[in-house]
Structure 1
């Protein structure tokens, strides 16, 4: 009979220090568009210069990290981005969704984005903006909180119950579990409605319109969200009409 280890026990038992060092470097560089020097990495990681230098050289050799022409600064290459977009299901979904999302944005004058579940977050994998002179949207690659955002709550609402319960059990800390408990009743309402429309919890004056893209069985494969902005510069699609159009896009992408 196999033994199921708790996350902390598994982490202690299956430590891989070299891998951890490499991942630490990648995560640090991902937050610094201008890159970091070796000295800055050493300070941030709290490791010896020799440890960091050896790992940097391997990451440069494998083309995950590039060295500046001057040789004193390191930055991420596009390799991780390319690898992420080789994932066939996501790539196929984005390929099908992008022209539909572009059409939605043109018709409504609003932006929209597509997000998929990524462990304990929602990851934005596609985005479309309207044809006007300005835009309001979320960048591709953004990680969205599952409890505090429209996309995240919609994914939670339409996840398979077993997956959702397992996810909540794995969340550490009473504060995060309490935040989920506070919105649990709302999630049931969204499931019954088939969509979520509510004021943004991040930006005043924006209403998030979110609809699920469904997999066979009626559970969420992804979610489409329009951060609806009330514009003053002419006639634009109302929220009800925007919701109808967004649901139409979701239905064309759904496999249910």
Structure 2
């Protein structure tokens, strides 16, 4: 495996990336000699790389000309494609593919100014299923999506979220002790599995999609409906595994940083 990795290495590109990553940690900039010393490279090869990065606009020189620092070009490029937008684009075809295997619908929810909003949805391929429409606003404390979004943020941010939240249609009044108990359990096991609080016979399964900060940027949810006919479909336990794997894949796409979980349901 190591030989294969070496075969496809691009040394010049790696040197350029090493310089960018180093400068990202030194906002005040570094001299050519400091860069060379930190990366254990010769001053001449570092000079060539720095000159190229300056020419392309990724690195700028100080007014005195002896220090190099990152420009805002990397930031500008990243803003052309908002990360969560890329996650939704990546998620939709995967969501549609998993519903064909699971025979269960799924949706993705996000928080917007205290509201829990469905931003993407994929329907079950069967004759029936439960799919939430894109744009639907759901409850914060009575849905798997809302609880998971709330669970993976700091205590201060959680208080702000609760203060901003406007109750969705049918959402009951907040029982804070009960809500806090749900939050603590989700933080321990990493996801929510609960009987629906809005419809009989539905089990809500909700997994966080983590962002770089370690908070849940979005939630992938499946409103599981158990079939009792002769169609051979995945079990509830299988569905949990399938959607959990997809949420982890989307977390990787988003560059997320998931926490460690200490328990299992």
- For this structure pair, what is the TM-score category when the shorter chain's length is used for normalisation? 0.5 to 0.7
| 2:104 aligned with 1:107 | no
What residue is the counterpart of 1:67 in the other structure?
none
| 2:172 aligned with 1:179 | no
Q: Is this contact kept in 1: 2:144–2:192, CA < 8 A? A: yes
What residue is the counterpart of 2:146 in the other structure?
152
Aligned-partner Cα distance in 1 for 2:163–2:242: 36
- Tell me, which stretches of 5 or more residues in structure 2 are unaligned? 1-79, 258-265
Q: How many residues align?
A: 170
Aligned-partner Cα distance in 1 for 2:197–2:242: 23
Aligned-partner Cα distance in 2 for 1:171–1:249: 28
Query: What TM-score comes out, normalization by structure 2 length?
Result: 0.59
What residue is the counterpart of 1:120 in the other structure?
114
Aligned-partner Cα distance in 1 for 2:177–2:113: 19
Report the RMSD for the aligned CA atoms in angstroms: 2.3
Aligned-partner Cα distance in 2 for 1:229–1:117: 25
What residue is the counterpart of 2:243 in the other structure?
246
Q: Is this contact kept in 2: 1:112–1:129, CA < 8 A? A: yes
Aligned-partner Cα distance in 1 for 2:88–2:195: 27
Alignment of 1:12-161 (within 5 A): 88-161=82-155
Q: Judging changes above 3 Å, is the alpha-carbon distance between structure 1 residues 87 and 183 closer, same or farther for their aligned structure 2 residues?
A: farther
**CA offsets 1:152-186 (integer angstroms, 9 cap, x no match):** 1111111233211222345699x987423321111
Q: Is this contact kept in 2: 1:198–1:208, CA < 8 A? A: yes
Aligned-partner Cα distance in 1 for 2:113–2:175: 18
- Give how far 1:102 is off: 1.0
| 2:161 aligned with 1:167 | yes
Report the more deviating stretch, 205-214 or 122-131. Answer: 122-131
- Aligned-partner SS, 1:141: coil
Alignment of 1:170-249 (within 5 A): 170=164, 178-233=174-229, 234-249=231-246
Aligned-partner Cα distance in 2 for 1:180–1:203: 22
Q: Is this contact kept in 2: 1:171–1:177, CA < 8 A? A: no
Q: Judging changes above 3 Å, is the alpha-carbon distance between structure 1 residues 232 and 155 closer, same or farther for their aligned structure 2 residues?
A: same
Q: Judging changes above 3 Å, is the alpha-carbon distance between structure 1 residues 232 and 220 closer, same or farther for their aligned structure 2 residues?
A: same
- Tell me, which stretches of 5 or more residues in structure 1 are unaligned? 1-85
- Aligned-partner SS, 1:245: helix
Aligned-partner Cα distance in 2 for 1:164–1:218: 14
- Aligned-partner SS, 2:212: coil
Query: What TM-score comes out, normalization by structure 1 length?
Result: 0.61
Q: Rg larger in 1 or in 2?
A: 2
Report the more deviating stretch, 216-225 or 156-165. Answer: 156-165
- Give how far 1:143 is off: 0.6
